[in-house]
Amino acid sequence: MTGAASTSPEFLELGVVIVGLAVLARVATKLGFSAIPLYLLAGLAFGRGGLAPVSFSQDFVRIGAQIGLLLLLFMLGIEYTGDELSRHLGRALPAGAVDLVLNFPPGFVAGLLLGWKPLAAVLLGGVTWVSSSGIIAKVLAELGRAGNPETATVLSVLVLEDVAMAIYLPIVDVLLSGGTPANIAISAAVAIVAIAAALFIAVRYGHRISDAAGSESDEVILLTTLGAVLLAAGVAERIGVSAAIAAFLVGIAVSGPLARQSHRLLAPLRDLFAATFFFFFGLEIDPASLVSVLPVALVLALVTAASKIGTGWWAAKRAGIDGRGGVRAGVELIPRGEFSIVISGLGAALEPGLAPVSAAYVLLLAVSGPLAARFTK
């Protein structure tokens, strides 16, 4: 009874949070727009410095949020086969270059204008460069656009960004710790080799792996696929590679009947933990820290929203998609999220202003991006 009494406050608070998220999802459904902005604003209201801070175990919510991100990327991955991914990546390299050229400089230049050190400006450039795979995956699922012609282009750009982040983050980590050029080269090489090996296995042996893992038992499939996603993510982080891209590659490797079973079984879990992910992101932001940096964040948001629309439109046009599809692709690329927050966290000790600027910037685009996508036909 003592143990039950000691955990009851956490159960009550978590129960209130989940029921509250359910109410927000119901409201969003009735109004016909994405629930993501409401989850983010709820986290902002109940986090540190919010209107009514809650004190439940954030370790539990953090783990749930990370699982939500992994499931979002896994479920996006099973929409495409390894062969399709290979074709898209090959075609999308020019789009990835345009994405970098258009979206990295605004943050980098802003950091220099703010008087920050060059490395801190490089970090802000990374914040403005990379879109949120987690938010965009959720938006595509909510709007039923997985089969749209421009979605393959959006996916290609996201995958290239995630692969780039798997190389960028280890290098930045070494730079922040004062590492030598040799250490930087080793970190980059490990990331590249790990990604190439995982992609090769997914493309070459994905069908065989799916056949071997298949079962008529829902219980077996649920445990197998969820376990594989978590295991791959853990191994990836251990060797310094993005857990998100590992989850995506597991999804790519899953095909045929196993993909359909996995989608049916994991979709409810994805929705639960994804809501937790966006809520937790809001919890991490102190509203008081956003006021002074809001003008800078707003300018950056406007500039890079336009540059992302340009990226998506150009990439879609190059793929033979009409102008309307190009605009949809560009708007869908607007949200920033998980990787931007990770980058700003790495440089928090280097430049105190990086975290609040990044948080305000990400919040603006994480809220406005899904809303804009909803109204872009």
What confidence tens digit (pLDDT) does each residue in 327-375 have?
999 999 999 987 787 788 778 778 888 888 988 898 899 888 988 988 8
| CATH for 51 | 1.20.1530.20
- Per-residue model confidence (pLDDT) at position 52: 64
pLDDT tens for residues 180-199? 777 778 777 877 777 677 77
Percent of the chain with pLDDT over 70: 88
In a domain, 11, yes or no: no
Please say if the pLDDT value at position 69 is more than 70: yes
Please say if the pLDDT value at position 230 is more than 60: yes
| Alpha carbon separation from 289 to 44, 96, 154, 359 (Å, rounded) | 12, 33, 33, 9
| Alpha carbon separation from 156 to 166, 201, 223 (Å, rounded) | 15, 19, 29
In a domain, 8, yes or no: no
- Per-residue model confidence (pLDDT) at position 143: 81
Please say if the pLDDT value at position 39 is more than 90: no
- Per-residue model confidence (pLDDT) at position 197: 77
CA distance 374 to 130: 21
Which of these, 330, 331, 338, 332, lies nearest to 359 by C-alpha position?
338
Cβ atoms within 10 Å of 152's Cβ, excluding its own: 23
- Per-residue model confidence (pLDDT) at position 1: 47
Percent of the chain with pLDDT over 90: 20
- The chain-wide mean pLDDT, for the chain, equals 82
pLDDT (mean) for 6-10:
63
User: Do 153 and 308 contact (CB within 8 A), yes or no?
Assistant: no
Q: What is the DSSP letter of 148?
A: S
CA distance 301 to 367: 11
Computed on alpha carbons and rounded to an integer, the radius of gyration of the chain in Å comes to 20
Place of tokens 């791959």: 232
In a domain, 9, yes or no: no
In a domain, 59, yes or no: yes
Please say if the pLDDT value at position 17 is more than 60: yes
Count of domains forming the chain: 1
Per the structure, the complete domain to which residue 40 belongs is given by 21-374
Please say if the pLDDT value at position 76 is more than 80: no
CA distance 78 to 255: 7
pLDDT tens for residues 234-288? 887 787 666 777 787 788 778 777 888 888 888 888 888 878 877 877 777 778 7
